[in-house]
Structure 1
Amino acid sequence: MSHSTSTGVVTWPADIAADYRAKGYWEDRTLGEMISAVADEYPDREALVDGDVRMSYAELADRADAAAARLRDLGFEPDDRLLVQLANGWQFVALTLACFRAGVIPVMALPSHRRYELTHLASLSESRGIAVPDVLRDFDHQALAHELVAELADLDVVLVSGTPRHGAVNLDEILALPDDGTERQLLRRRVDEWNPDPDAPACFLISGGTTGLPKLITRTHNDYVCNIRATTAVAELDENDIYLVALPAGHNFPLACPGILGALLAGAKTVMLPSPEPVRAFTTIAAEGVTISAAVPAVAQQWIENQARTGGNQLESLRVLQVGGSRLPDEYAARVGSVLHCTLQQVFGMAEGLINATRLDDPTDVICTTQGRPVCDADEIRILDPAGADVPDGEPGALYTRGPYTPRGYYNAPEHNARSFLDGGWYGSGDVVVRRPDGNLVVHGRDKDMINRAGEKISAEEIESLVYRLPGVELTAAVAMPDPALGERVCLYLVPQEGRSFDLDEVRDHLTGLGIAKYKLPERLQIVSSIPTTKVGKLDKKALREDIATQLSHSQ
């Protein structure tokens, strides 16, 4: 039997919470009721486009209410958790809103996750159910979901977008429209009564995980609405905008910065795409009149190169391209305006809270060479040296933050919280930044053992711990190697035991067999006789990163 989430949620101190309320950062309204209010105001306005599916605000709200009631009828109670592993599509949006309305907490997994990650997330969240595609990109998500149900005590419901097997529930039937107007009115009254506490979790996001498997980030209705409002304001998004979702929708960036939820709260239109592949993305931008989208640097680079090669006016409606997830190289930042003919908004933030962004009217040098400044005037920032002292502007240091949408701790993770938070609730993101005198931040990298592959954060420690399960490994170290398209890829240094040999395929097959996501697999293997250590005996990752960077530069 799953426990109440309240036992694992770290709350803001009462006096600080009261101050956030008094100043209007926390509105004490839930995402579900707020989006329903937008649907009441603009019932006939188009809310959501997914291929041939076009949905008005009224229809989306009706589907969400009906699904909320059906989730309750399936046995889901307020505060139950539902692991959501859906591809970008209308079902993701409708199910997420249904969870908000029913008081069920969606746990935002990614389609790329496999057994290893899903087992951990379902266990940590004590999820009652899992929502999956049937088969996606040749992977049988439904089969894996049934295996997880057989293994995990709390998990007992499989919702499938596709053809259900083995007693699974058809997600499309859960999300079907109510039969008629009378049923819609009855459903609405029933669902309105379930409106959760605005301080309760709206959803769980997943962390990048610097020390192994991902942690759960509690986002309450109050703090997430604050996050959405602030990012909506700096993106200057309103009801006339058309927002393209091409990154995985369960990520904080396309979900709420301002993302899907920001577009819905503004009365704007959201267009879903399964991937940001340039040809289809550009065709969709032209067909739908898309005005704003979000990309990671590797995607922005592909879009720039595609547009430079093909030309044409498919992007003439595009007003803003937000780029975040990792630092966009300055040379590509300069080309967004000249090649894509839209305004670049650099976004540097974290699912754990703080979002920084350049402003649309900032000078070109700010837009192209910085990662912006906090989006909310209640965001607090400290930049500290290794001894914990504040550094002056212009000096690099570790970023710490707190504010009305930066939670005070990970969910049910006291040991991680002791490492990641300072006294007073300051969260250490692991980023090394420089603050300029104008308040804009420039990101200089990470101070933790993290690899950032196209915006997906990969824990070196996690990869190493799994490689050590392979017989014959004496010593191993995973490090980031630079990559012009993806930012970084995983390079694995390995010292074999005497008489043992390895190749990259063997290591990748071993990790795949353990069920990890494909994006985490090493893409280069360096067999060495020893690995350098620091003065305190730790593996010298800095030396290894420099070694592989030098090798790559010499091979070009």
Structure 2
Amino acid sequence: MAMMDVQLNSWLLLDHAAAHFPTTEIVTRCVDGSVHRYTYADFSARAHQLMHALDGLGLGRGDHVATLAWNGYRHLEAYFAVPCTERVLHTCNVRLSAEDLSYIIGHADDRAVLVEPDLLPVLEQVHALGGLATVDHIIVLGATVPETSLSGVVAYEELIAGQPTTYPRREIDEYAPLGLCYTSGTTGRPKGVVYTHRSTFLHSQAVCSASGLAVGPRDSVLPVVPMFHANAWGLPYAATASGAKQVFLSGQLDAGALVDLLAEEQVTITGGVPTVWLAVADELAGRGESLPAMRHIMCGGSQPPRALIERYRREFGLTILQGWGMTETSPLASIAWPKEHMGQWSADRLTDEVRTKAGLPLPGVQVCIRDELGQDLPWDGTSLGELLVRGPWVADSYLSGESAQQFTEDGWFVTGDIAIGTPEGYFVIADRAKDLVKSGGEWISSVDMEAAIMAMDGVCEAAVIAVPDPRWQERPLACIVPRDGVSVTVDDVRRHLEKAGFARWQLPDHVQVIDAIPRTGVGKFDKKALRARFAPT
């Protein structure tokens, strides 16, 4: 006997939500501060209208449709309407430079762009650089078209108005491309990663599972992570798959507005980068409030400082779950859940041995740690090597076959992360390979040092980079953003790090006090910019 051969595609997710959760809400706080509410039934009908509208534009099967958009209900409609009509959704990072956007839109051969009204000036810059040569249609995600120098622009609401609210379901091969996301381009040009219907469906099930983020029908889910990056960590697809309420905050991050939404919409699961949760913690403390409905907060993108994890536990009674992944892993690959036998462990031990780790691989994901000769290293809590990963939602190549050296002959993706595996099966990211500091032949983890510095009372943020040294090859330089009115000296930092367990030879010789740490398009510390700024002349 055999099982039914059902194609794992985006229609399975969309149909399930519309059929079984028609009255569940989708809530968006728009850029202008207004709040839009509708249901999965409304969402499904409008997504079907967009499917007809895309057909009416003459876009063919397999054509790439780009979005330059914030988190919100119209973006969610595109998340399904584009792939359900056998087209490919290309979510463009709105924080990339006009030059990079021009490159990726051309490289992807995008045929249409859905753009937010307030992001039209960005698209105008792209056009001035010749970046819209392949684009035939520009659709503004609103009811009207603002004044613009671009021609042939149509309003989204005008485009879908009058279209039928049902669309004939297509039998789409599960291995067909569904989405396209480019890496943030911290080294070289951004590279395209293609997600398939199958990989997205399986990833959404993993996110829904208790090994992932345990998203279910009773949850209210707010992804702070942008929908333009790696499918907002899969949360919109997972929430739709499980019929969970969805909540979106459009536009630039505002900690006050975010806390309002988290509280008012009784959000139970959310996810974002550490800098988000630093700002939210200060906002909650200033209000003297907590978030009683919250079940867990996922933190990814970079390792959250131990002090941040402990602050949420002690001040607000909230759990921060660390997760790890990359654009190339769809992106969720691991979550730092405790195991059953750890139930009697103290909170401090759980933090040290579980919550500060990148996590346990999700079912279906395999990871290994290899040395410079390509040999597997033991998971002994000390051996340091490069992290490799493989699985059904891990890319096996980049668009156009670029950077083929990152994919091994035996079927692994070389992440560029340096990791240590523990006997319990967890792994911790010690650093990015390019960010390790090699001083006198010995490695210093910039991640560990950053986390320790950010535990200082007077420090808001810290990034550690390697700078050339004539004697030791490289030395760590700590770039620090102090809290208002606080002075931080190199002696303060050295004393603190020594108490935290760092050896004297590891301590930085200099610190740079700066107003803000530059960030990449996905909110990570941009160490490339720091190295360029503080490199010796």
In the alignment, which of 204, 208, 219 is matched to residue 228 of structure 1? 204
1-structure distance, mates of 2:384, 2:524: 34
Counterpart selection for 1:36 from 15, 29, 33: 15
Q: Provide the rounded CA distance (Å) in 1 between the counterparts of 2:276 and 2:6.
A: 35
Contact 1:94–1:175 (8 Å) recurs in 2: no
Gap change, CA 1:306 and 1:48, over 3 Å in 2: closer
CA shift at 1:113, angstroms?
2.2
In structure 1, list runs of 5 or more residues that go unmatched. Answer: 1-21, 455-459, 461-476, 487-514, 530-556
Tell whether the 8 Å contact from 2:98 to 2:122 is kept in structure 1 after alignment. no
Cα 1:151/1:298, change in 2 over 3 Å:
closer
Q: Is the 8 A contact 1:255 1:261 kept in 2?
A: no
Of 219, 238, 254, the residue aligned with 1:241 is: 219
Q: Which amino acid aligns with 1:290?
A: V
User: Is the 2:225–2:233 Cα contact (8 Å) retained in structure 1?
Assistant: no
For residues 370 and 526 of structure 1, what CA distance do their matches in structure 2 show? 30
Amino acid at match of 2:314: S
Supply the distance in 2 between the matched residues of 1:152 and 1:312 (Cα, whole angstroms).
47
Q: Does 1:311 align with 2:288?
A: yes
Structure 1 residues 483-511: Cα deviation after superposition (integer angstroms, max 9, x where no partner): 5699xxxxxxxxxxxxxxxxxxxxxxxxx
Residues 326 and 244 (structure 1 numbering): CA distance in 2 closer, same or farther, change over 3 Å? same
Counterpart Cα distance in 1 of 2:3 and 2:305: 37
* Alignment of 1:125 onto 2:108: yes
Specify the alignment match of 1:297 in structure 2: 274
Residue 526 of structure 1 is matched in structure 2 by 534
Corresponding residue to 1:336 among 285, 309, 312: 312
Separation of aligned partners in 2, 1:242 and 1:328: 23
One-letter amino acid of the counterpart of residue 155, structure 1: V
Question: Secondary structure of 2:19's match?
Answer: helix
- Deviation track 1:71-93 (CA, whole Å, cap 9, x = no partner) reads 11101111100121101221111
How much does 1:320 deviate?
0.8
* Whole-Å separation in 1 of the counterparts to 2:272 and 2:306: 15
CA distance in 2, matches of 1:343, 1:253: 23
Match of 2:423? 437
Q: Which residue of 1 aligns with 2:489?
A: none
The alignment partner of 2:292 has SS state of: coil
1:136-185 deviation line (CA, Å, top 9, x unaligned)? 4xx7134235446x555422211112415421121233355x57xxx43x
TM-score, normalization by structure 2: 0.75
1:252 aligns with 2:235: no
1:66 aligns with 2:49: yes
Q: Does the 8 Å contact 2:337/2:355 carry over to 1?
A: no
State how many pairs are aligned.
441
Q: Secondary structure of the equivalent of 1:525?
A: helix
Q: What's the CA shift for 1:292?
A: 0.9
Higher RCO (CA-CA < 8 Å; seq separation 6+): 1
Does structure 2 retain, via aligned residues, the 8 Å contact 1:145–1:158?
no
Q: Distance in 2 between matches of 1:361 and 1:291?
A: 22
Aligned to 2:94: 111
Matched, 1:400 2:388: yes
| One-letter amino acid matched to 1:57 | Y
Cα 1:319–1:528 shift into 2, 3 Å: same
1:352 aligns with 2:360: no
The CA deviation string for residues 81-120 of structure 1, in whole angstroms up to 9 with x for no partner, is: 0121101221111122110221111111112123211111
In 2, the alpha carbon distance for the partners of 1:482 and 1:348 equals 24
Name 2:140's counterpart in structure 1: 160
Name 1:101's counterpart in structure 2: 84
Q: Percent identity?
A: 24
Per the TM alignment, residue 221 of structure 1 is displaced from its structure 2 partner at its CA by: 0.8
Query: What is the correspondence of 1:38-57 to structure 2 with a 5 Å cutoff?
Result: 38-50=17-29, 51-57=34-40
1:141 matches 2:149: no
> Offset of 1:408 from its aligned partner?
0.8
Structure 2 unmatched ranges of 5 or more = 343-349, 437-445, 452-464, 466-473, 484-520
Select the residue among 374, 382, 403 that pairs with 2:368: 382
Cα distance in 2, alignment partners of residues 485 and 84 from structure 1: 37
Which secondary structure does the structure 2 equivalent of 1:188 belong to? Answer: coil
Cα distance, 1:329 vs. partner? 1.3
Asked whether the equivalents of residues 133 and 142 of structure 1 are also in contact (C-alpha less than 8 Å), the reply is no
Report SS of the residue matched to 2:167: helix
